[in-house]
Chains A and B, each alone.
Chain A
Amino acid sequence: MDEVKATRTVTVTNSAGFHLRAATLFMNLARRFDSHVEVIKDSQRADGKSTPLQLTALGAWEGDQLVLEATGADAEQALDALVELFVTNFEEEEEPEQQQVGQSRPEEDTADS
């Protein structure tokens, strides 16, 4: 079998960041492929198929870039599918009864003390 290695760079665009449900969706989708999948943020690497904890530990925020790396025969197909999750914002929907009013979400305090 040909061992293919593919990489893609994605940007986290949903306002809530790469949260638990997003990580779970990612993992469930990654597991449908045979390829080994890793998510890289700066110098941190996370196994994309083991547990969502690996992915949420990256602490990826809106605007952060992540590198997706897949190794295996279906590496390209796996990344095509996984990139789509980021493009569609993980099918993000605000919970109706807690929906925020207006278009401007409250400011994220970026100064992490």
Chain B
Amino acid sequence: MKFADFVSREAIRAELVAKDKEGVIRELVQAWLDTGSIEADEQESIIKAILKREELGSTGIGRGVAVPHTKHPSVDRLVGTVAISSDGVDFNSLDGEKVQLLFLLISPPDRPGDHLRALENISRQLRDDTFCRFLKQAKSVEDIQQLLDEADNNQFVS
């Protein structure tokens, strides 16, 4: 699975405003809402589900990266976005470091495989330090989109 299969350009955020974990998660879901792909009345339910998953253990997996996610019946395919917080957000990460790079994933409950495929793709790409660093330093949606496209074209993973 490629980034282009689940990351919508309209939902990418190059500079998150929120400074705390819940605020950032709300902002990410709002970014998706703004694309018109999710009904507004589902917003709170999605946010609640993501926060509940975080209670099981932070998705801040180290190296300044977090992958907040949930299954949710309001989507009929896996959707996701990428966002940057240049100051970093305290995400109770495994390594205690602040998170600068966030991938939000919302998947339909009956398609767990898609979630795993997206996670596999994100993980593989982020093993490349250059990709990870460039993405954290990206200043615009265009920069982010270009890096994702390059990753999709296997320009980072050897």
Contacts and interface: CB of A to CB of B under 8 A. Distances in A.
B112 A56 contact: no
Contact of A95 (B52, B111, B126, B127): B52
A15 B112 contact: yes
A50 B95 CA distance: 10
Interface stretch (B7-15, B63-71, B148-156): B63-71
Interface stretch (B18-26, B53-61, B78-86): B53-61
B123 interface: yes
Interface residues of B, number: 33
B124 A57 contact: yes
9 contacts: A20-B119, A53-B63, A55-B123, A61-B116, A95-B53, A98-B49, A98-B109, A112-B1, A112-B117
B49 to A, nearest CB: 7
Contacts, number: 77
Nearest to B48: A97
A52 to B, nearest CB: 5
B111 A24 contact: no
B62 A52 contact: yes
Interface of B: 1, 49, 52-53, 56-57, 59, 61-63, 65, 67, 69, 71-73, 94-95, 109-113, 115-117, 119-120, 122-124, 126-127
A53 B116 contact: no
Interface of A: 15-21, 24-25, 27-28, 50-59, 61, 95, 98, 100, 105-106, 108-109, 112
A112 B116 CA distance: 12
